[in-house]
A and B are shown apart, each in its own frame.
Chain A
């Protein structure tokens, strides 16, 4: 059976006022052949988890500029697990200091992309990781 296109939810938790960066990533992923569900700014962890659940996504991508990631991201991760979405690939980006990266990885974020990341690299990372997960699931 042919694989379906990779489905990605892109959301911005917290109170960030603008979403230029998230939109650039969304477009890049579309251009890489993915279906991107874009929910915009000011998303609560509950809204993000609910959208991920209903949309049955392969990937949840969080973008944040406000610095509230260590506060908000764990709540998103917990809610996803509660809803049985523990198989989704988690990635995040935005303004994330280097010293927070280990904590985010421990939380389950396989990809943490700081400022200056090339969007092609994000797309490539997602494609490879999802292929690996799908391969493992098919075993």
Chain B
């Protein structure tokens, strides 16, 4: 990235921001160049993950939450992730449709992302896109993902504050419990509170929370009701986001969580790089030969893998020398 683009990006120039996000989405050297240039300007944004079952009203809620922050004078970046079709590789990215109130506001930047190919790739791309928005001076960054599929859930859970959105009207069936995403919630929001059965859903969630052992200093997620269509209850939800932030600060959890996240990211990148570099050094015919040997039952898969990576341990690389 040239210094001029970095400067434009940090000044919040939308074209520069948009192109940087495209680059990080592409991954590889393009992504590395962007992150290398902007990383030092990151670390200021409060990142809010919003996840939940399809159709619970996440995008409509994100629209309302963003409006609340705009009223407080804060700039808001939004990353909305929708699934790529496994059949065609294409996607329909429709979250923006619910965020039209925000258009025309230069203090808001919305970017739609498809999950694309690899799981690890998505986590890296969204995390990098969040960093771009952070460097561009968006004080609040909202990340919407569908709460189905592990990597999408992880992305939301990587935020400073994670909101799990539930909608009433499915009887006793709490989607968030089924999807196993209740555990990651800092705030639980029952949206579509204009429907019947809201109180049943709230009660079921409260009961679930009560089952969880609670230590003295633990954060207890509030169960909140909103009607995202009208904005009712959203100001209260934003107050709670603020309380959660204050809690994180009071317990030094921002630093701890950030370090945990960097450690996980570092491990992930190391794994990916090692595999890429290792396989680059191995010629294709060697792998083919091993596959043939496996098929002929001369070697099992573990033994064949050992042929490829066995040499590494004895190599001069200090990283390997340092482990066990």
Contacts and interface: CB of A to CB of B under 8 A. Distances in A.
Interface in B1-25: 14-15, 17-19, 21-22, 25
Interface string A3-14: 011000000000
Interface stretch (B91-99, B144-152, B279-287, B290-298): B91-99
B92 A32 contact: no
Nearest to A38: B94
A37 B112 contact: yes
Contacts of B184: none
B93 A84 contact: no
Contacts of B85: 30-31
B28 A1 contact: yes
B146 to A, nearest CB: 16
Q: How large is the interface on A (under 10, 10 to 19, 20 to 34, 35 or more residues)?
A: 20 to 34
Interface stretch (A39-47, A69-77, A107-115, A131-139): A39-47
- Chain B interface, DSSP helix/strand/loop, else mixed: mixed
A53 B15 contact: yes
A37 B92 CA distance: 6
Given A1-B28, A31-B88, A56 B104 contact: no
A33 B88 contact: yes
A46 B93 CA distance: 20
B103 A4 contact: no
A59 interface: no
Interface in B77-96: 84-85, 87-94, 96
A50 B110 CA distance: 10
- Chain A interface, DSSP helix/strand/loop, else mixed: mixed
B111 A55 contact: yes
Contacts of B323: none
A56 B13 CA distance: 13
Given A51-B96, A54-B110, A36 B90 contact: yes
B18 to A, nearest CB: 4
B61 to A, nearest CB: 18
Contacts of B96: 37-39, 51, 55
A26 interface: yes
Contact of B90 (A1, A5, A55, A84): A5
A111 to B, nearest CB: 18
Contact of A54 (B14, B87, B88): B14
Contacts of B100: 39-40, 47
Given A33-B89, A37-B112, A56 B19 contact: yes
Contact of A35 (B29, B30, B114): B114
B97 A54 contact: no
7 contacts: A5-B114, A30-B92, A33-B90, A35-B112, A35-B114, A47-B100, A51-B103
Identify the 8 closest CB pairs spanning chains A and B, nearest first: A30-B90, A56-B18, A33-B89, A47-B103, A33-B90, A56-B22, A40-B97, A37-B93
Interface of B: 14-15, 17-19, 21-22, 25-26, 28-30, 84-85, 87-94, 96-97, 100, 103-104, 109-112, 114, 116
